[in-house]
Amino acid sequence: SFADSSLLSERKRRDREERLNIVLWRQPLVTLQYFFLETLINLKEWTIKLWHRRSILVSFLLTLAVLTATYYIEGTHQQYVRYMEKKFFWCAYWVGLGILSSVGLGTGLHTFLLYLGPHIASVTLAAYECNSVNFPEPPYPDQIICPDEEATEGSISLWAIISKVRLEACMWGAGTAIGELPPYFMARAARLSGAEPDDEEYQEFEEMLEHAETAQDFASRAKLAVQNLVQKVGFFGILACASIPNPLFDLAGITCGHFLVPFWTFFGATLIGKAVIKMHIQKLFVIITFSKHIVEQMVSLIGAIPSIGPSLQKPFQEYLEAQRIKLHHRPDSGVPQGENWLSWMFEKLVIVMVCYFILSIINSMAQSYAKRLQQKMYSEEKTK
């Protein structure tokens, strides 16, 4: 029995290594083939699930038909329709970015660093330059423009900036909470069915429970502390883990699913922690970091670096000056719009990150199909 168990674990390890080699830069043709086959299987499964939930689908289609008719029929209600349309798509945009940030499809897209953080920073810089937050309601036009009315110097407050970006930040936080649900459902389904899924994070969690007493390294002790906090404290333990920047929160989702914590206890605590508490902490950090006097001090410190300081300081000064000019002139006013190498580098960084995220999704789905083939092989061997 011990020998069979060792052989099985060794085989699973080899199969896992074989799956990890199925990536576009090593086996492009096989990876693309497996990706398309996995996509077809997923589409088939989703179609079957929709067919089994025909009543919900019909209700959704009827609601969509009513909303479509309301959208196209002329009347005094159109001003409210346009307002709700703009708000809905703006919120959906940030919720989607939040889901992409935490759903874990391969690596996850770090949308706070790429989208929400720069958005809060740009609003903060504009608020201090304009001494006002009376910009157009989101979604903004191509660029934020200072309002025409004059405002007194220093009249802008921290709370006004927080209120200006609250909707975007809370929607992004809600999206990250939704993205934490897959580990919870995976562990819950495995516990209820008694199955042992071939998932690396779940297997690591099981091994951690088995060797909890002998854990010595810091990472194992930190994971064990998160698991104990969530298991023993419950709602407030989950809330505490979700309210701080915590790379181990996926483990909290697996723990809650494994110990059958009620869904609304887990999701409610996660939603409050991520969309309210954590987002206000992150907003405050970005707003304070990009406040006018802090930015000026940072640029001065860059210039103080020996030898390379002045050459590094110049593009930052040019970028800030260009942003100030843009804030006081409308796009059609004839002011030349120069391009700074900092903005050029950021645009290319965003493109690279998005491309890498798409590649990671393709690799992940191809590896999922390879896992299906391996499981099919296991079942065929057992029936012989």
Alpha-carbon gap, residue 182 to 290, rounded angstroms: 35
Percent share of the chain, pLDDT over 90? 10
Q: What DSSP string runs through 21-44?
A: T-STTT-HHHHHHHHHHHHHHHHH
Higher pLDDT, 12 or 41: 41
Does position 51 have pLDDT exceeding 50, yes or no?
A: yes
User: Do the beta carbons of residue 155 and residue 132 sit within 8 Å?
Assistant: yes
| pLDDT for 296 beyond 80 | no
329 φψ region: left (φ > 0), alpha (ψ -120 to 50), beta (else)? beta
Model pLDDT for residues 150-169, shown as the tens digit of each residue: 666 656 788 888 888 899 99
Contact 82, 159 (CB under 8 A): no
Residue 3's pLDDT band (cuts 50, 70, 90): low
Which pLDDT does position 323 carry in this prediction? 64
Task: Determine the average pLDDT of the residues in 32-53.
Answer: 90
Strongest mean pLDDT among 73-82, 132-141, 224-233, 293-302: 73-82
DSSP state of 152: -
Cα–Cα distance for residue pair 364/16, rounded to 1 Å? 12
| Token representation of residue 288 | 């304070």
Question: Which of 104-108, 133-137, 221-225 shows the highest mean pLDDT?
Answer: 133-137
What is the chain's alpha carbon radius of gyration, rounded to the nearest angstrom?
26
Residue 321 reports pLDDT greater than 80: no
Does residue 139 have a cis peptide bond before it, meaning omega lies within 30 degrees of 0? yes
Lowest mean pLDDT of 1-10, 85-94, 204-213, 223-232, name the range. 204-213
- Residue 212 is predicted with a pLDDT of 52
- 165-210 pLDDT, tens digit each: 899 999 999 998 898 888 888 878 777 766 555 555 556 656 655 5
| Residue bearing the bigger pLDDT, 11 or 31 | 31
How many Å apart are CA 108 and CA 122, to the nearest integer? 24
How many angstroms separate the CA atoms of 185 and 95, rounded? 20
For the entire predicted model, the pTM comes to: 0.72
Split at pLDDT 50, 70, 90, the class of 379 is confident
CA distances from 351 to 347, 354, 358 (A): 6, 5, 11
Instruction: Name the phi and psi angles at 146, rounded to 5.
Output: -65, 145
| Paired tokens of 345 | 């580098």
Residue 40: pLDDT band (50, 70, 90) is very high
Name the nearest CA neighbour of 369 among 96, 7, 44.
Answer: 44
Sign of the torsion formed by the C-alpha atoms of 215, 221, 227 and 231: positive
Query: How high is the pLDDT of residue 287?
Result: 85
52: left (phi over 0), alpha (psi -120 to 50) or beta: alpha
**pLDDT of the residue at 336:** 46
Predicted local confidence at residue 333, as pLDDT: 47
